[in-house]
Amino acid sequence: MATDLTPPAEAEVGVGDYQFGFHDPTDKYVFKSRKGLDRDIVSQISEMKSEPDWMRQFRLEALDIFFKKPTPTWGGDLSHLNYQDIFYYVKAAAGQEKNWDDVPADIRKTYDRLGIPEAEKKYLAGVKAQYESEVVYGSLQEDLSRQGVIFTDTDSAMRDHPELFREYFGTVIPPADNKFAALNSAVWSGGSFIYVPKGVKIDFPLQAYFRINSENMGQFERTLIIVDEGASVHYVEGCTAPTYSSESLHSAVVEIIVKRNARCRYTTIQNWSNNVYNLVTKRAMAYGDSLMEWVDGNLGSRLTMKYPAIYLMEPGARGETLSIAFAGKGQHQDAGAKMVHCAPNTYSRIISKSISKAGGRASYRGLAKVVPGAHHCKSNVVCDALILDSNSRSDTYPYIEIDEDDVTIEHEASVSKIGEEQLFYLMSRGLSEAEASAMIVTGFIEPLVKELPMEYAVEMNRLIELQMEGSVG
């Protein structure tokens, strides 16, 4: 390892600095498309990536769908989003790097600030660090590949595993699903591809780090995870972004297939800078007796619209979503979950927690749907909102569509303000108002945090403390 990898001063900067943003010089790009979106740009992206013709066609068809579909008017305010004022493809460094020392120095420096080498030493079996639109660094523990596990970036998967890739790509979320799925399908780049063969259980989390690092640069990663029968995997994705003055668009698509008796957990903590539109489509198909879990934390962004979905396709399938949203000043978190019961004896649970402060707005938007014939289903939805001051707002939009009689659906919602009595109690024991508020908020999200891998739990609590600084008084 290079000696300059973790200078002490850098290491001490820690998580606290993301909030204020930092970025590397932006003249290190190998390729950058011009701003805007049209057929030429989409063809150029495909050409740059030396893609097969079917993918170029797929992208162009998706582009047509994107242009035809109107921008949604529900959820958050998208009226300031200018699709022609965005770079849709930026390539930072040529090729795939096998090991950390080969990663260009300024990119390494950026990741040092995010603590990635540390994380790798401690936890990582494979790191997929997405810098700009392309994965530039990846390593995969050898025993994983011996077991036939594929963990790579999505572009490489298309090239190296063409049949497997084409069998599943776009099957869970077709381009026509919604406007942003169409956009992603047209311009996608990077993302993770995971295939876990039958019966293989990976007992440590696979992780990826994401980062937007160019003004007006959109990031459109595309993730595809296939967990074959009886297999299991926990995928963890975290991302942060430096702060820029103008708007930035992030629109990812995540497709997951969980086959019979398999398990998949997908954990995300997102802390986009406050100018980012984060419009994500995530969906999983869960087959017989499988378990799919989304753990989803949204702290940053200007607007997040994200409703991870689970389609329970066969009897015995279970789906769980645990989501947390923190909306601070100028932020709108419109987040939630969808559970679609397509088969009898399927089970779902949604736990949603939101915090709003300093004028922020947190909305829960969720769907519990039971199709005809899907009898003996159970669905349980709990949403709790914590509002920290009178300028902030919380809304709940629970949609329930039931076309079957013999089902159990429960929905509970609660909204609370940080209690005067709770604050007084803690302060009477010597805690300052800021310490007491942070403790109450940390306690509120504890059910989510304890589900996170250790480093994320620590990071999450530090982010909350940062968000709480200066929030009182």
Q: For binding to other proteins (CB under 8 A), which residues are involved?
A: 419-422, 424-436, 439-440, 442-447
Please compute Rg for the chain using Cα positions: 22
Q: CB nearer to other proteins: give 148 or 419.
A: 419
Residue 331 carries which side chain, given as an amino acid letter?
Answer: Q
- Phi/psi for 420 (5° steps) reads -55, -40
Find residue 223's DSSP bridge partners: 254
Instruction: Select 51 or 389, whichever has its Cβ closest to other proteins.
Output: 389
CB of 205 to other proteins, least distance (A): 23
CA 259, CA 331: separation in Å to the nearest integer?
A: 37
Number of helices and strands (H, E) in the chain?
Answer: 12, 23
**Identity of the residue, 80 or 429, whose beta carbon is nearer to other proteins in the bound complex:** 429
Q: How far is the CB of 425 from other proteins (least distance, A)?
A: 4
Q: Are 316 and 346 in contact (CB under 8 A)?
A: yes
How many CB atoms within 10 Å of residue 50? 8
Q: In angstroms, what is the minimal distance from the CB of 16 to other proteins?
A: 11
Spatial contact of 343 and 378, defined as CB atoms under 8 Å apart: no
Which lies closer to other proteins via its Cβ, residue 54 or residue 424? 424
Q: How many CB atoms lie within 10 A of CB 152?
A: 22
Q: Indicate the residue among 401 and 446 with the shorter CB distance to other proteins.
A: 446
**For residues 274 and 303, is the Cβ–Cβ distance under 8 A?**
no
Between 174 and 447, CB nearer to other proteins: 447
Token pair of 58, please?
A: 């797929």
Q: Minimum distance from CB of 418 to other proteins (Å)?
A: 11
Q: How far is CA 65 from CA 58, 69, 186, 187, 281, in A?
A: 11, 6, 9, 13, 16
Q: Which residue has the tokens 């088969």?
A: 343
Q: How far is CA 287 from CA 52, 169, 199, 225, 255, in A?
A: 31, 17, 15, 14, 14
Q: Return the closest-CA partner of residue 333 out of 82, 75, 83.
A: 75
Helix ranges (DSSP H) in 80-141: 105-113, 116-122
CB of 437 to other proteins, least distance (A): 11
Choose between 64 and 469: whose C-beta lies nearer to other proteins.
469
**Of 273 and 352, which CB lies nearer to other proteins in the complex structure?**
352
Least distance in Å: CB of 442 to other proteins? 7
Q: Tell me the sheet residues that pair with 174.
A: none
Instruction: Please say whether the dihedral angle defined by the alpha carbons of residues 125, 22, 41 and 70, taken in this order, is positive or negative.
Output: positive
* Smallest separation, CB 51 to other proteins (Å): 48
Cα–Cα distance for residue pair 409/377, rounded to 1 Å: 8
Shortest reach from residue 426's CB to other proteins, in Å: 7
Nearer to other proteins, 16 or 199 (CB): 16
Closer to other proteins by Cβ: residue 141 or 442: 442
CB of 147 vs other proteins, minimal distance in Å? 37
Nearest distance from residue 453's CB to other proteins, in Å? 19
How many CA atoms lie within 13 Å of 160's alpha carbon, on the beta-carbon side?
11
